[in-house]
């Protein structure tokens, strides 16, 4: 029996979820989906990026990823609302629970996307298309937002199908439909092909997915190494990955933060790195993981990006150790330019009780740090992340756990209406 895979994708997820909450919970009359609107960050804090936009906003040329300033130039009447991540997590969870009623194997691909392995189950509801329409219509009726559903025999083709005409539609892309539905599309619409790959493919005279599918594989390998084989397979509808309801383990943990002011002092930068280390290491400890590599990224006020990394003596998830490594990297990397954004990222993650290389000079300190971090985690888990913080962050504009989502963005608060 051929596999049967559904890909479910929420249409303009953040904006749809905001609209549904405002209409059905707050009783507002304006549907954000019907007017030029967008979910975006705070210009004053320099987080001014469009996270989602309505179809009317799209008609003005507003795109996801645009700065708010650019979006407002394209559409001066654009209604911008701030993001509320607790709301989005709740909507995402409700969606996944509904999908599990249709399939024994649901893989959450992102907060607003999922794959369902419908092999042997779709025909319980009629044809695969009938099953997808039933699922789609129930999501709208019970949860209030629309989705696109793509249907195929593997994950890549199902995902490509869900990206066809939107919103609130079901599309198929079976192997015998690849030539008619897929090959005529621009090559950058293929999954995994971004702007840089698009430019390289265009330089090779490859402009459509069909042209990529018919290109000699040796030519693609010569220019793209193993990645050339991947996009060649996708263009030909080949994907052997399976739908898995077990989330893969993280290969790395990281957080970054755009700073509300230009940082030109090393002590301030290192305080921000400490707040990032708090967030990253809390996540590592929660997953019983340790990192062997620490990297620091800096973006200056001219948007120049630099990174630097180091391998640690032993794997760790101790906040002080990761911060100490980050400070060493920062001192080696920073050229004195005003800093706009800082990040800490970790790699070569090991899980479980990883062996630690003994060091007689820090054995006692290591044990004390383990107990300290464990106690702090327990307090924050019980009373909230703001219940305990380092004294250096008191009455300080730097949030003590930067890089995550600030509390004011997590909790929906619509007291000021929808107009920013």
| pTM to 2 decimal places | 0.77
Q: What is the DSSP string of 53-71?
A: E-HHHHHTT--TT-BHHHH
- Find the catalytic residue in 18, 113, 278, 385: 113
Domains of the chain: residue spans and CATH: 1-173 (3.30.70.270), 183-235 (1.10.150.20), 254-409 (3.30.1490.100)
Instruction: Return the H-helix or E-strand segment holding 135.
Output: helix 128-143
pLDDT, tens only, 262-316: 899 999 999 999 999 999 999 999 999 999 999 999 998 888 889 999 999 889 9
Whether 113 is a known active-site residue: answer: yes
pLDDT, tens only, 66-88: 888 889 999 999 999 988 888 99
**For the residues 193-200, what does the mean pLDDT come to?**
93
pLDDT, tens only, 329-353: 999 999 999 998 899 999 989 987 6
CB within 8 Å of 180: residues ≥ 6 apart: none
- What are the two backbone dihedrals, phi and then psi, of residue 404, each rounded to the nearest 5 degrees? -90, -150
The pLDDT, as a whole number, for residue 381 is: 87
**For the residues 16-25, what does the mean pLDDT come to?**
94
pLDDT, tens only, 121-170: 867 888 999 999 999 999 999 999 999 999 999 999 999 999 999 999 99
pLDDT, tens only, 205-261: 999 999 999 999 999 999 999 999 999 999 999 999 999 988 777 788 998 888 878
Q: What are the structure tokens assigned to 241, written together?
A: 């990955």
Q: What are the structure tokens assigned to 408, written together?
A: 């004011």
């Amino acid at each position: 029996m051929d596999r049967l895979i559904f890909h479910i994708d929420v249409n303009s997820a953040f904006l749809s979820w905001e609209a549904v909450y405002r209409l059905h919970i707050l009783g507002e009359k304006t549907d954000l989906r019907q007017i030029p609107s967008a979910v975006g960050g705070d210009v004053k804090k320099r987080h001014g990026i469009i996270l989602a936009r309505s179809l009317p906003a799209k008609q003005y040329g507003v795109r996801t990823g645009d700065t708010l300033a650019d979006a407002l130039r394209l559409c001066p009447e654009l209604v911008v609302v701030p993001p509320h991540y607790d709301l989005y997590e709740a909507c995402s969870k409700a969606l996944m629970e509904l999908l599990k009623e249709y399939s024994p194997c649901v893989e959450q691909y992102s907060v607003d996307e999922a794959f369902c392995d419908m092999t042997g189950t779709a025909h319980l509801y009629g044809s695969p298309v009938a099953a997808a329409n039933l699922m789609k219509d129930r999501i709208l009726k019970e949860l209030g937002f629309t989705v696109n559903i793509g249907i195929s025999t593997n994950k890549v083709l199902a995902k490509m199908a869900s990206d066809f005409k939107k919103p609130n539609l079901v599309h198929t892309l079976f192997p015998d439909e690849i030539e008619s539905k897929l090959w005529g599309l621009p090559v950058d619409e293929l999954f995994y092909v971004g702007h840089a790959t698009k430019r390289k493919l265009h330089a090779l005279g490859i402009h459509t997915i069909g042209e990529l599918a018919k290109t000699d594989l040796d030519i693609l390998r010569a220019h793209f190494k193993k990645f050339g084989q991947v996009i060649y397979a996708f263009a030909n509808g080949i994907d052997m990955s399976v739908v898995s309801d077990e989330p893969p383990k993280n290969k790395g943990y990281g957080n970054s933060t755009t700073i509300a002011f230009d940082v030109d002092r090393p002590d301030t930068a290192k305080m921000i790195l400490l707040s990032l280390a708090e967030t990253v290491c809390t996540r590592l400890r929660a997953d019983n993981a340790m990192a062997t590599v620490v990297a620091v990224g800096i973006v200056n006020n001219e948007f120049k990006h630099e990174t630097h990394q180091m391998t640690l003596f032993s794997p760790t998830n101790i906040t002080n150790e990761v911060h100490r490594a980050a400070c060493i990297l920062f001192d080696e990397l920073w050229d004195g330019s005003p800093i706009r954004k800082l990040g800490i990222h970790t790699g070569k993650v090991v899980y479980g009780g990883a062996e630690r290389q003994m060091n007689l000079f820090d054995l006692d300190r290591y044990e004390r740090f383990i107990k300290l971090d464990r106690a702090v985690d327990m307090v924050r888990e019980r009373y909230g992340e703001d219940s305990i913080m380092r004294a250096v962050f008191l009455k300080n504009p730097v949030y003590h756990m930067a890089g995550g989502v600030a509390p004011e963005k997590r909790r929906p608060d619509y007291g000021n209406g929808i107009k920013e």
